[in-house]
Chains A and B, each alone.
Chain A
Amino acid sequence: MTGFLDEIEACIPALRRYARGLSHDRDAADDLVQDCLERAMRKRSLFRPLGPVRPWLFRILLNLYRNDQRRVRRQGIHIPLEPDGNYPDASTNQQSRLELAGVAMALQNLPAEQREVLMLVALEGMSYEEASEILEIPTGTVMSRISRARQALRTATDAPPPRLRSVK
């Protein structure tokens, strides 16, 4: 049991990072991770996974995220601009802050299915194989979604600086 807990614990930083990438919101992301961990802890007695823990945890997190999405969709996208600590370095200059905010917004504007896979690969460093296993889609679909996501990001970041609105 301790080994199992250790395995889960080792995945938490990555789960938080991934959740933040999905929602760009600190509290929402940690809520998601907390739900995921609670569910994993409850499941472990009866429904412990047979395979490795990491893809299992990511799958749980994604399922919860999708459930949340259905609720949130109606409320629109919220991108708190700053200062919420999402921009890593206080000394980052204004231009790159704007650039990062633009990317963050473009990421949030992607269809969820593209953001889910892009973040697994570009942020979590997973191979297409691993991503396809977690998302339960063929690798061809993984590739086409990433390709579309990159294209959309390019268009968004090439465009004149977006008009940012601060919500909150």
Chain B
Amino acid sequence: MTSQPHSRISDADLMAYLDRSLDAGRMAEIAAALDTDPEGRARLAEWRQQNALIASLYQPVAAEPLPPRLNVRRMAAEGRGKHQAWHRMAAAAILCLGIGASGGWYWGHQGAGIGGTAPADQIVAALAAHRLYTAEVAHPVEVAGNTDGDLGTWFSKRLDRKLTIPNLEQTGWRLVGGSLLPAGDKAGAQIMYENAGGQRLTLFFTPVAPHKDGVPRFATSGDLGVMSWTDGSLNCTIVGPIDRTEIKRIAAEVYDQLT
């Protein structure tokens, strides 16, 4: 291609050359072609000038001293404290749910004791919704769905939050659909999945006032595993007949797709 010194180097090639996004052979070809192409050199020089201006605006930022609030070691130290607190809360949650399963609404009185947090209510609501709808054979969901269909739009509108329907096929769970359910005085979204063995898993999303993200909480109730966390202004609770390792794997997938 370098044998035609007068052919104009395309913008795409020239730009990729500038941005070091060609393989070594192609880089050398363009470099050689540029030797006999003053117009190409001029275009290149203009882009280089743009890069230089961008660099003079922002390059120095990288050398600025780091403000203390960007110190990750401090964050790590603070995070550890939170993490331990969470473990205590999670232990309490497991205990209380155990009692709740065998003792009716005892949870209702104890709930406030566990920090009185909304996620506790959420876990209870998600569990109840899970038990109610996964048992349904004929109409387990209000709206059957696919991950890029109307389901996400519908929920986003009703919850007033951008809600992406997570695709969990990679983890072996196929989307069944979703239902709109009451969650306190607001609307909550339940999304149901099914695995090859016909077991069902639900995600329960409820809108919450925006606050700092919480650490995920894990709990069990009977043979169900529960994981709940708040991300931005959305609380997500996963309920399924699975153990902690599996639920963490799914939580990681959901979390990644939501953010």
State whether these chains interact. yes
Chain B residues in 8 Å Cβ range of A99: 53
Tell whether, in the assembled complex, residue A42 and residue B79 are in contact, meaning their CB atoms are under 8 Å apart.
yes
Contact with A along B52-93 (1 / 0, CB 8 A): 011111111111101101101101100100010000000000
> A81: CB under 8 A from chain B?
no
> B47: CB under 8 A from chain A?
yes
CA distance A67 to B175 in the complex (A): 26
Contact with A along B202-233 (1 / 0, CB 8 A): 00000000001101100000000000000010
CA distance A9 to B55 in the complex (A): 22
- Closest A-chain residue to B58, C-beta based? A21
CA distance A63 to B76 in the complex (A): 22
Tell whether, in the assembled complex, residue A143 and residue B16 are in contact, meaning their CB atoms are under 8 Å apart.
yes
Interface size class of B (residues with CB under 8 A): 35 or more
Chain A residues in 8 Å Cβ range of B72: 5, 8-9, 12, 37, 41
Interface size class of A (residues with CB under 8 A): 35 or more
> B3: CB under 8 A from chain A?
no
CA distance A128 to B18 in the complex (A): 11
Chain A residues in 8 Å Cβ range of B191: none
CB distance from B223 to the nearest CB of A (A): 23
CA distance A46 to B232 in the complex (A): 17
Q: Which of B15, B57, B215 contacts A104 (CB 8 A)?
A: B57
Tell whether, in the assembled complex, residue A128 and residue B16 are in contact, meaning their CB atoms are under 8 Å apart.
yes
CA distance A23 to B66 in the complex (A): 18
Tell whether, in the assembled complex, residue B259 and residue A123 are in contact, meaning their CB atoms are under 8 Å apart.
no
> B251: CB under 8 A from chain A?
yes
- Closest A-chain residue to B48, C-beta based? A122
Chain A residues in 8 Å Cβ range of B46: 154
> B12: CB under 8 A from chain A?
yes
CA distance A122 to B21 in the complex (A): 12
> B106: CB under 8 A from chain A?
no
Tell whether, in the assembled complex, residue B69 and residue A30 are in contact, meaning their CB atoms are under 8 Å apart.
yes
CB distance from B99 to the nearest CB of A (A): 27
Chain A residues in 8 Å Cβ range of B213: 39, 42
Instruction: Known A42-B213, A147-B12; judge A153-B50 contact (CB<8 A).
Output: yes
CA distance A24 to B46 in the complex (A): 23
CA distance A29 to B75 in the complex (A): 18
Q: Which of A24, A34, A150 contacts B47 (CB 8 A)?
A: A150
> A94: CB under 8 A from chain B?
no
Tell whether, in the assembled complex, residue A150 and residue B15 are in contact, meaning their CB atoms are under 8 Å apart.
yes
Chain A residues in 8 Å Cβ range of B20: 125, 127
Tell whether, in the assembled complex, residue B57 and residue A100 are in contact, meaning their CB atoms are under 8 Å apart.
yes
13 sampled A-B residue pairs with Cβ under 8 A:
A9-B72, A13-B63, A34-B70, A41-B72, A46-B252, A46-B255, A60-B259, A103-B50, A107-B57, A121-B21, A143-B15, A147-B11, A150-B15
A-contacting residues of B (Cβ < 8 Å)? 11-12, 15-16, 19-21, 46-47, 50-51, 53-64, 66-67, 69-70, 72-73, 75-76, 79, 83, 212-213, 215-216, 232, 248, 251-252, 255-256, 259
Known: A33-B70, A42-B213, A127-B19. 17 other contacts (CB 8 A): A1-B76, A5-B72, A9-B72, A13-B62, A13-B66, A17-B58, A34-B70, A37-B72, A39-B259, A87-B57, A107-B54, A118-B54, A119-B58, A122-B51, A122-B55, A123-B54, A143-B12
